[in-house]
Amino acid sequence: MAAKIAFILGAGPNVGQHVAKKFAANGYRVAVLTRSGVTTSDDYLGVKADFTDPLIVASAFKQVRDTWGDPSIVVYNASALHVAPADDAFSVPLTAFQEDLNVNVSSLYAAMQETIKGWKNLESSSKTFIFTGNLLNVAGARPALLTLGVGKAAAAHLIDGAVKSYSSQGYKFYYTDERNPDGSPVGTSPDAKAHSEVYFQLAEDPRQRPWDYTFVKLKGFTKF
């Protein structure tokens, strides 16, 4: 049987790299997308793309499809933020706002489209799309993080919409959010190992668990 394929979009040094390593260690072929296209392992397929242009997303998926086939597991870990002054959130230039929205929302939409298109031709496998979120979709606005928060809120909406539209076909979609045990945010350093373990469990489970998958390191899914 051909190896299963995982595609990690935004395979930076933290969450993305650990997730890539976890899937590779469990027999997956792993494609990793960064802006440089450089990989940390010869076993990975490196894909170069900048998601400030959503129209680039289809060609990134085509590269994986043409090399190995369609990925059954897709992880969207890329995000962008132009930090705003907390007392003047709307001073972020419109062009910067648009750039962040392209990375956080429009390229995510394009990646979900490409994923679903590929799954339609894919036999078996546990088809799973995982978006790395945070608590901004439910916490209300943090003015300094406006472009990120708008993105996470929209991303949660897209994931919810995908679950409602495709769960009858066995496709799974998740918005993940790592929290501290007391429900507070983990700050700027999410635990990459905890993410990799949770993402692998979600991929291997044939059932759709709660799509808004809030979890705590060493504990797993936790509803706050």
Ligand X SMILES: NC(=O)c1ccc[n+]([C@@H]2O[C@H](COP(=O)([O-])OP(=O)(O)OC[C@H]3O[C@@H](n4cnc5c(N)ncnc54)[C@H](OP(=O)(O)O)[C@@H]3O)[C@@H](O)[C@H]2O)c1
Q: Judged by CB under 6 A, which stretch of 34-42, 82-90, 119-127, 137-145 contacts ligand X?
A: 34-42
Residue 22 catalytic?
no
Which of 21, 127, 152, 172 is catalytic? The answer is 152
Do 20 and 46 meet the contact criterion of CB atoms below 8 Å apart?
Answer: no
CB of 94 to ligand X, least distance (A): 17
Contacts of 126 (CB under 8 A, 6+ apart): 72, 73, 172, 203, 204, 205, 206
The rounded distance, in Å, linking the Cα atoms of 24 and 168 is: 29
- Which of 173, 190, 196, 197 binds ligand X (CB under 6 A)? It is 190
Based on the shown chain and the rule CB under 6 A, indicate whether residue 178 belongs to the binding site for ligand X. Answer: yes
Q: Does 73 bind ligand X (CB under 6 A)?
A: no
Name every residue whose Cβ is closer than 8 Å to that of residue 150 and which is 6 or more positions away in sequence. Answer: 100, 101, 104, 105
Paired tokens of 98: 């648009």
Should residue 35 be labelled a site residue for ligand X when binding is judged by CB under 6 A? yes
Q: Which helix H or strand E contains 179, and what residues bound it?
A: strand 172-179
With CB atoms as reference, the residue minimizing the distance to ligand X is 12
Determine if 95 is a binding residue for ligand X (CB under 6 A): no
**Rule CB under 6 A: which residues touch ligand X?**
10-16, 34-36, 50-52, 77-80, 103, 132, 134, 177-178, 185-186, 188, 190
* Catalytic residue IDs: 152
